[in-house]
Amino acid sequence: MIIKTTVETEKITLPPLRIHGFPAWVHEPFWLFDNALALKAHTGYKEAKAGSEEAAVILISEISLDFIVKIKDKFPVDAIFVAPHAREATGDNAIPQVLAVASALAADGEVDTDIVQITRVFHTGADPMERMILRPEFDGIVTDGAHYVLVDDVTNMGCTLAELSNYIQCAGGIVVAVIVLVNAGRSKHFHPADNVINKIEKRFGNEIREIFGIVPAAFTANEANYLIGFRSTDEIRNRIAKARKETNLRLCSKGIKRQD
């Protein structure tokens, strides 16, 4: 008798393969806080998170202006600051884009408004496996050879920033730095240890690439450290099946219906 799991029989369309990790010189982001408590405590946080640019401007100016000024000389003079944002920004988190604008103004750089996130991944409140399987996709023109600084409000696993970095590098752009307000991951740097990647490749083989659509060397440190806790690909697939159910329940509780 042959038994097939739901994950094995389910048809899943993955985003394009992530082949680039963060460049060697982007070891870790510039960040202000280790956790999101101070960010969420700001009176304008909920409005800014819900898409209010005015609230985001006040939030950025009140909690991060000194931080932005302190790091403004760390970037090339021709740097382009880009944040993950949807084509239609109404209702989406306004903090990353406002932070990108403020950083560009301080550093005499440019702000990219062409690169957009074309899929919603609903990472807020998601656990590590949910974040890994809900991979964002991007679209828009990347200037070949240009220097890009990636900007976001919060990073946990580094998944979204890793996908944006891959997109830019695949199109010929050069990722030179990352700015976040909150670096909430267990590992504060991006690059996984070589021995962890070697263990992942030895334990899971090519299946790990097929499951996630990510080349092992392109995993972030937090992604790799999470995966090494699994003993087999069957265990990973079972956890993915559970994560998909958890995602649907989490979004349904918020009145959100995913468009798969």
End-to-end CA, the chain: 32
Specify the higher pLDDT residue, 224 or 88: 224
Q: What is the pLDDT of residues 2-58, one digit of tens each?
A: 333 333 333 445 678 999 999 999 999 999 999 999 999 999 999 999 999 999 999
- Cα angle: 135, vertex 220, 149; to 5 degrees: 80
CATH fit for domain 14-189, picks 1.10.3470, 3.40.50, 3.30.1490, 2.30.29: 3.40.50
Predicted local distance difference test score (pLDDT) of residue 121: 75
The lowest-confidence range among 6-10, 39-43, 209-213, 221-225 is 6-10
Does the pLDDT of residue 98 top 90, yes or no? yes
Mean pLDDT calculated for residue range 200-214? 96
Could you identify the residue written with the tokens 């990472």? 123
Task: Return the exposure string of 122-154: e unless at least 16 CB atoms fall within 10 Å of the residue's CB, then b.
Answer: beeebbbbbbbbbbbebebebbeebbbbbbbbb
**pTM for the complete prediction?**
0.90
Q: Which pLDDT does position 9 carry in this prediction? A: 31
Beta strands 138-139 and 116-117, pairing class? antiparallel
Q: What is the mean pLDDT of the chain?
A: 90
Cα-based angle 122, 93, 77 (whole degrees, multiple of 5) = 115
**What is the per-residue pLDDT across 246-258, written as a single tens digit (0 to 9) for each?**
888 877 876 766 5
Of 99 and 245, the structure prediction assigns the larger pLDDT to 99
- Cα three-residue angle 220-233-208, rounded to 5 degrees: 40
Give the angle 162-196-223 at the CA atoms, nearest 5°.
Answer: 30
pLDDT digits (tens, 9 = 90+) for 234-247: 999 999 999 988 88
